[in-house]
Amino acid sequence: MTTNRHYSPADRLLMQADAALRTLLPFSGQPGRPSPAVVKPDAELDERDSRHVAGLMRINHTGEVCAQALYQGQALTARLPQVRAAMERAADEEIDHLAWCEQRIRQLGSHTSVLNPLFYGLSFSIGASAGLISDRVSLGFVAATEDQVCKHLDDHLGQLPAEDEKSRAILEQMRVDEAEHSTNAIAAGGLRFPAPIKFGMSMMAKVMTKTTYRI
């Protein structure tokens, strides 16, 4: 939650450390909305499907860890107060996704990725660097990142077993939210990244998905 209070650099660093712990420690994030999976029936998945869905949800959970770090890094270095507030607000909304994915992973008898601290650190650095360049670049990075996330979600929705309504409900709501974040970032003045930069971001995303599917 954002306020009009003016924080010192030391205050902001402590807030970033707190945000990192709440992102990385199990069940630390408190969602503002109940999981869409709650109202969906349980499905009997065989071992192979259960393991595959857990891998997909683990990828999405790590993606939300990266989103948290990205937004926190951008908020730390944003120049305009309204941009900083927008980044902090987006990070709050992403907590829902983080918690929903973790809940589903645990229901499937699996675990979140052990690589999350590494990806958090890398994403935080990228977000902070984008914010240092300019707020327009920072907002553009949000839009480009969310576009990549939407593509991954579309792919994962196509891979889910038809009977797994719980995972599908979560990913469908995430898809709606991420598309809205992208649209809002461009509307706020974000730079539209050229295709070569988006391609590079896609290659980086593939590294994350390949490594976190199992670990």
Annotated binding site for Fe cation: 64, 94, 97, 146, 178, 181
Task: Work out the end-to-end distance of the chain between its first and last CA atoms, rounded to an integer number of angstroms.
Answer: 32
Whether 108 and 57 have beta carbons less than 8 Å apart is answered as: yes
Q: Which residues are known binding-site members?
A: 64, 94, 97, 146, 178, 181
Task: Give the phi and the psi of residue 197 in degrees, each rounded to 5.
Answer: -70, -40
Q: Which residues contact 105 (CB under 8 A, 6 or more apart)?
A: 54, 57, 58, 61, 111, 112
Quote the distance between the C-alpha of residue 112 and its chain's center.
Answer: 14
Q: Which residues contact 178 (CB under 8 A, 6 or more apart)?
A: 146, 149, 150, 153
Whether 16 and 72 have beta carbons less than 8 Å apart is answered as: yes
Q: What would you report as the CA-atom Rg of the chain, rounded to the nearest whole angstrom?
A: 17
- List b or e across 175-205, with b for residues whose CB sees 16 or more CB atoms inside 10 angstroms: bebbeebbebbbebebbebeeeeeeebeeeb
Cα angle for residues 185, 188, 191 (degrees, 5° grid)? 65
